[in-house]
Amino acid sequence: MTVDPNAATQGFPTPSPAHGRPHPARYLVPALVAAAVALALGAYGKVHDPAGTAFNLAGFSSTGAVKSWLATAAFAFALVQVVSALMVYGRLPGPGWSGALHRWSGRAAFLVSVPVAVHCLYALGYQTYETRVLWHSLLGCFFFGAFSAKMLLLRSERLPSWLLPIVGGLVFAVFTIVWLTSALWFFRTFGVTT
Ligand code: HEM
């Protein structure tokens, strides 16, 4: 895989040198943390009584509308994540600040998605009454597990160069399904309103 020679200076891990294989703990710890985060969220969503709390924001007609727009903003930042990652890896032409763009769009996507997920978990809980809702709840929990694993892998050195793009791609794919099964469904059902 071609990696932008600036990747290291942009704070991104570079491919491992040929010598030495990473210790299995480098994979095991992120995988265990991912499983623990996803299971803890799922268990919390399942066992507590959904509070059903609704909130209103000036200019929006319902809690669902606020959440759907926030989730859509997070999805837009996630798209910037994919494009900027391709630039960092030299697959697309990009400016010298692609690394910074990747980091900041990632932070923004995470910040925007957290309040939405907190409301889902606290007020709606882990639900399975429809296939769509089942996948949304399941992958919503899985998303935060996979995201935690990616953050831990970023700090790890000597990893195979393919690992981070695979995990990053997985996080993006999962978020896409979470968005399709919630915000897109909401807009198709109730119309694209604020
Ligand atoms: C990245 C994380 C997540 C995002 C961006 C997200 C986004 C949304 C949005 C936009 C809606 C539609 C608005 C609404 O009905 O309130 C929704 C609904 C819902 N969410 Fe989430 N959610 C996330 C994670 C979760 C998690 C972790 C759970 C539970 C474990 C969950 C459970 C639900 C449920 C049960 C609904 C109602 C589904 C329906 O009847 O249509 N969500 N979510």
Q: Which residues have CB under 6 Å of ligand 1?
A: 41, 45, 63-64, 67-68, 71, 74, 113, 116-117, 120-121, 124, 126-127, 133, 136-137, 140-141, 143, 178, 182-183, 186
Q: Enter the DSSP assignment of 53.
A: -
Q: Is 33 exposed, middle or buried (0-12, 13-18, 19+ CB in 10 A)?
A: middle
Least confident of 35-49, 113-127, 157-171: 157-171
Confidence of residue 158 (pLDDT cuts 50, 70, 90): confident
Q: Specify the DSSP element, H or E, that contains 98.
A: helix 98-119
Structure tokens at 188: 């198709």
Cα separation, 158 vs 107, whole angstroms: 24
Q: How far is CA 136 from CA 46, 56, 120, 121, 128, in A?
A: 14, 23, 10, 11, 9
Least confident of 9-18, 21-30, 85-94, 157-166: 9-18
pTM: 0.89
Please state the rounded mean pLDDT for residues 99-119. Answer: 97
The torsion angle over the Cα atoms of residues 111, 130, 138 and 126, rounded to 10 degrees, is 70
Give the residue, 39 or 3, on which the prediction is more confident.
39
pLDDT at position 10 = 56
Pocket test for ligand 1, best of 124, 147, 184, 190 (most atoms within 8 A of CB): 124
Question: How many Å lie between the centroid of ligand 1 and the Cα of residue 108?
Answer: 19
Nearest CA to ligand 1 atom 38: 133
